[in-house]
Amino acid sequence: MTTQSTTVTPPTIIDDIKRRSGWSLFMGILTSALGIVLIVYPFATATITTVLLGSMLTIVGVAELVLAFSSQTPRGFFAQVFLAVLYGVTGIVLLVYPFQGVESLTAFVGAMLVVRGVLALITTIRFKPLDGWGWFLADAIGSLGAGGYILAKWPSSSSWAVGTLVGASVLVTGVARTAFAARIRQGASDIQKSVRANP
C-alpha cells in the first residue's frame, strides 16, 4: 500500500506543475503579442489609454461623491467631496482633451515603470537560486531603463513613449514569463520521465 502511494503521488504533483506552467506559458505568449501591438501603434495606444484612464477617474469621482453622503462627520463629508471633485474633474479633462492628456500620462507611465522595475528587481533576488532567474533580471533592467528614458526625454517623448516603451516593457515581460514557464515545464517533464522509467 505504501509503495503504491509513493508511485502514484509524484506524477500527480508533476502533472499539476505542468498544467500551471502551461497556463503561464500561454499568458507569456499572449503578453508578448500585446507588447508587439503596443509597439506598432504607439500614439493610438497612448490615446486609448488616456481615454480609459479618464473614464476610470470619472467613475471613481462619482463613487466618491456617493460615499460622501454616507459620511458621519462634516470633515469626512468635505474630504470625500474634495476627492470626488479631484477625480471627476481630472477624468473629464482627460476625456475632453485626450491628446493633451497623453503628455501627463507619459510622465506617469515613466514613474510607474521605474517603480515596476524596482519591484521586478526584488522578485529577481527572490528567484535568483532558480534556473532562469536571469530573465527576471532582464525584465527589471528593461523596466528601469524604459522608465528612466521616458522621464529624461519628457515632454518630447509624449508622442511615442507610452506605446513604444511600454510595449517593449510588456514584450520583455512576456518573453521572460514564457521562457521561465517553459523551463519549469521541461523540468517537470524530465522528472516525470525519470519516475516512469524507475517505478
**Per the structure block, which three cell numbers stand in for 46?**
497612448
DSSP-derived secondary structure for 97-114: -HHHHHHHHHHHHHHHHH
In one-letter notation, the amino acid at residue 186 is: Q
What was the pLDDT predicted at 10?
47
CA 28, CA 55: separation in Å to the nearest integer? 28
Which of 123, 145, 146 lies closest to 133, judged by CA? 123
**Tens digits of residue pLDDT in 71-126:** 677 776 777 788 788 888 888 888 888 777 778 778 877 887 888 888 878 877 77
Residue 103, number of CB atoms within 10 A of its CB: 19
0.75 exceeded by pTM: no
**Tens digits of residue pLDDT in 136-180:** 788 788 888 888 888 888 877 776 777 776 777 788 888 888 887
**Per the structure block, which three cell numbers stand in for 168?**
517593449
pLDDT value at 6 more than 50: no
What was the pLDDT predicted at 120?
77
First-to-last alpha carbon distance for the chain, in angstroms, is: 14
What was the pLDDT predicted at 130?
67
